[in-house]
Structure formats: C-alpha cells, structure tokens
A = this chain, B = another copy of it.
C-alpha cells in the first residue's frame, strides 16, 4: 500500500502538503487538496486513521430499496445495523445512491473524501459500477446479498437460501404437493441463482421432480406475477413458491382472478416475512429473513474486517413461518 511519502514523491510536493490535503487542512488550495486526494485514492492509499476506530464514521449506501417505513425490507436491516454501531460510538450516515451517482463518483473517492472508515451496501446489483470497483477496494465493506470474490476487505451477509427453500419444499411435500412452481427474482441476481439451485437441490433431496416450465425467473415486483401465474395454473401447479412476499402479493391476486381459492385450490408461499404478509387474505406462509439480525451481522462483519478478521461470508438461518396460504394438495 502506498505511503504519504509515495504520494508526495509522485506529486513532487512536500510530505506535509500531502498530509494537509489528506487531513482537510484549510491552508492549502481546494485544487491541491483534490489533487492529493485523487492521487492518494489512485495509489490505493488508506490512512491509518481510516483503518482504526479514530474516525468513527460508517456509511450505509442503499440502492433500489426503500427503508423509511417498517413495511420495507431494508427498514429493520438499517435499524439493526445502527443499533450495534451506535453502541460502539460510531456515527452512521445513510446515503441513497443511484446508478448515475456511481458513474460520476468512485467508491473509494467518496469514502475517503467523506472520512468514512467502512461501509455497508444494500440493494446493489452485480451490474452496478461500485460493485465492480469493490474488487480492489481496501475499505472494509460489507454487502447484503452480494459476494465479491478474492478481496478480503469485502464481506457478504445474507440469509441461508438452502435452508429457507428446503423448509418450504419439505412443508409442501408433507402436504402432498408434487407439482410445485417457483417464481424467482431476476436471473442476474446472485441470490436468485442461489435460490434456483436450492430449489432444484431440495426437490431432488426430497424425491420430487422439478418441472422445467414451473421454474421461472421474474423480478421483485408484484406485477411480474401476471406473466407467469397463468402458465403455472394451466400446467397443473398445486403450489407456487415465491422469492419474495411482494411477488406473492401479485401471485395471490392473479390466482384469485383466475378463480382459484387459496389455499383450497392452490398453496402460495412467500419469502422475507414482511409485515404485510400477516395482513394478506389469507395470511401468508413464508420464510422469515431476520432483518434486524442481518443488520446486526453486517455490523459485526464490518467490525471484524476493521480488526483484520477477513470475514468473507456470514449467513443467518431463516425461519419457516406457517400461516394460512398453504394446505393439503388436491389433485386437479
């Protein structure tokens, strides 16, 4: 890693000037400070102050997700993170981020200029520019539901997809279901891929045959149901597993529109256990992601990374929550 001396040598300025630039001193010009910061970032410099607990500023970057109300997935994740971080005297800033913002601002540069020691990223996708930049960052960084290979500064926290999907399929098998459909999230998401594999593996482990046309990638919006549910029903599905409660909302609507009763004619299962899942008609059987605990785990992972514990992956167990949207299969 580059030192202050290296930066000074590259710029042909005094070490004290670099030091002033890095520390935001007011007696150098804005242009020179920018130049020092940009060069430092380019050379992969991370100051000791940023690696230790001195600065006490953490950032939560959030994209594609709302978090302001308890109805949203990210709400409790943010609360859980803050709960732990504040106890350790960190100041936590939540920064919503767009793709346009990522085009104009490098991740490391933003972290450095704002004096953040480490960050937690929620809702980013593999295509995001910052995700690509994370392959080389030296800032302790934790991602929800995303994994960056081969960079020990970056950790991943999430929920164990295998256990979640396995408990769903076990439940449905016990109820006599064999024609089980799966409406997943988008194909380009790591988590959707995990759940896809988990679905196939669970079916196999439990001696059930997956039906190719009953397994589809959609997206995390309730409207996606209308593109897939009619086919599922036509193909004789007796149960539909959804990769989020929001998708399940659309699936329930679509099934009702087609005259199917839930759970008498078709069983439906969600994923996440958002507050809305108890208010649906019927209340939704689902997989609970422990959102407060995901936030706490993200903090624990960041704390580990800051202390040189190279946390790569931390997966929490989900809980299977049985409500009233599932019942015994009736062969059609």
Give the interface of A toward B (CB within 8 A). 149-150, 152, 160, 163, 166-167, 290, 293, 296-297, 300, 304, 307-317, 319
Quick check: B152 and A317 within 8 Å, CB to CB?
yes
Task: Pull 11 A–B residue pairs with CB atoms less than 8 Å apart, ordered by A.
Answer: A150-B163, A163-B312, A290-B310, A293-B304, A293-B310, A297-B309, A311-B314, A311-B317, A312-B316, A313-B313, A313-B314
Shortest Cβ distance from residue A135 to the other chain B in the assembled complex, whole angstroms: 13
- The residue on B at minimum CB distance from A310 is B317
Given contacts A296-B309, A312-B316, 4 further A-B contacts (CB under 8 A): A149-B166, A152-B317, A293-B308, A311-B317
Which residues of B sit under 8 angstroms from A304, Cβ to Cβ? Answer: 293, 296-297, 300
- The residue on B at minimum CB distance from A154 is B317
A167 to B149, CA, bound (A): 11
A319 to B300, CA, bound (A): 21
A209 to B178, CA, bound (A): 38
Quick check: B150 and A312 within 8 Å, CB to CB?
no
Shortest Cβ distance from residue A7 to the other chain B in the assembled complex, whole angstroms: 27
In-complex Cβ contact of A311 among B166, B167, B308, B316 (8 A): B316
In-complex Cβ contact of A317 among B163, B167, B297, B312 (8 A): B312
- The residue on B at minimum CB distance from A316 is B310
Shortest Cβ distance from residue A330 to the other chain B in the assembled complex, whole angstroms: 28
Quick check: A312 and B310 within 8 Å, CB to CB?
no
Which residues of B sit under 8 angstroms from A313, Cβ to Cβ? Answer: 160, 313-315
Which residues of B sit under 8 angstroms from A310, Cβ to Cβ? Answer: 290, 293, 316-317, 319
Shortest Cβ distance from residue A200 to the other chain B in the assembled complex, whole angstroms: 16
Shortest Cβ distance from residue A94 to the other chain B in the assembled complex, whole angstroms: 21
A297 to B155, CA, bound (A): 13
Quick check: B319 and A297 within 8 Å, CB to CB?
no
A310 to B288, CA, bound (A): 12
Given A149-B163, A163-B149, is A297 in contact with B311 using a C-beta cutoff of 8 Å? yes
Which residues of B sit under 8 angstroms from A312, Cβ to Cβ? Answer: 160, 163, 315-317
Which residues of B sit under 8 angstroms from A316, Cβ to Cβ? Answer: 309-312
A319 to B150, CA, bound (A): 9
- The residue on B at minimum CB distance from A149 is B163
A167 to B150, CA, bound (A): 9
A313 to B315, CA, bound (A): 5
A176 to B110, CA, bound (A): 41
Shortest Cβ distance from residue A222 to the other chain B in the assembled complex, whole angstroms: 28
A307 to B300, CA, bound (A): 12
- The residue on B at minimum CB distance from A151 is B317
Shortest Cβ distance from residue A186 to the other chain B in the assembled complex, whole angstroms: 23
Shortest Cβ distance from residue A193 to the other chain B in the assembled complex, whole angstroms: 14
A163 to B151, CA, bound (A): 10
Shortest Cβ distance from residue A291 to the other chain B in the assembled complex, whole angstroms: 12
A62 to B173, CA, bound (A): 39
A310 to B80, CA, bound (A): 14
A167 to B152, CA, bound (A): 13
Which residues of B sit under 8 angstroms from A308, Cβ to Cβ? Answer: 293
